[in-house]
Homo-oligomer: A and B are copies of this chain.
């Protein structure tokens, strides 16, 4: 018998998925997972024909907004990454989709209204163990565009509280002995709130670096990418690689064209990045990857820092360790991210905070049928 579950189909940044309230779902566990997977309808063809989801990681997302499990937070943000095969991963996070969860929490009265008319939603992302706040503007704030999304919408300031987290989980700005297939390469493993990202130079990783997502997807051997990520996960002590752990192919800034039209001048960005997303290259850029990149660009010796300095970029890497902005050129345009990093008492590089502006909107409200 069909069952109706209240839900909102939403875009958050360059991601799409379903936001539920915890009270509308079975308790966390197999029954809740079954509702979410049935609602999204992942399938091997990548069309999710029998559900409201899509065919790639960016369109197979769900979030459960719940009353806060920790003091000082407005709500819990339980993020679920569903795979094409119907698996569900609650351990990762999604910075893009956090903006959608925050909109729902605010509409449910969980936001703190500020004197200037803006509202702050402080979220506990339980899976990745992250604290973040999303600031919704006052209603008269001008709308903004973000690369990869049509039109404009009110700007949502997404800020991660990184709590002095050590950035280099292996203690090294550059790994030794890693390979992509039979290619040796330099790599940096950078950890932002428990979700390590692997940064390599695009040319060493089999790309030019300015490819469209589909072109880059076709150029790569995905078994080799998986093997590299598995090896990196092992180096940081993870037995199972979380779905949010990605490979980033970086290159120095340059003039280049976008497949969807338009061009990016070298002066408009600090570096170029292409990010893995399952067995393909992400259509735009992951939020978590962008945060990691902004942090890494401020740490001498990392692949990101070298490319930003070498490319003459004016972002974090150029300006040392302050809270400067990094402009990342991805397959659909330029994304701006800022990071505040420093060193702890032992001299280790640590991250204090990082953030970016996203937009989000309700696409459909009502009930999913499962």
Contacts and interface: CB of A to CB of B under 8 A. Distances in A.
Contacts of A45: 148, 213, 260, 283-284, 332
Given A363-B368, A368-B363, A368-B364, A47 B43 contact: no
A365 interface: yes
Interface string A10-52: 0100111000000000000000000000010101110111111
A55 interface: yes
A94 B37 CA distance: 27
A332 B50 CA distance: 14
Interface stretch (A1-9, A175-183, A192-200, A249-257): A1-9
Interface in A222-260: 259-260
Interface residues of A, number: 44
A9 B368 CA distance: 9
**Tally of this chain's copies:** 2
A36 B276 CA distance: 32
Interface string A327-360: 0000010000000000000000000000000000
A56 interface: yes
A90 to B, nearest CB: 22
Nearest to A58: B47
A73 interface: no
A364 B362 contact: no
A344 to B, nearest CB: 39
Interface in A273-293: 283-284
A54 interface: yes
Interface in A132-155: 148-151
Nearest to A260: B44
Interface of A: 2, 4, 7, 9, 11, 14-16, 39, 41, 43-45, 47-52, 54-56, 58-59, 148-151, 213, 259-261, 283-284, 332, 361-369
16 contacts: A9-B9, A11-B49, A16-B48, A39-B364, A45-B148, A45-B213, A47-B58, A47-B283, A51-B363, A52-B52, A54-B55, A54-B59, A361-B369, A363-B368, A364-B369, A366-B367
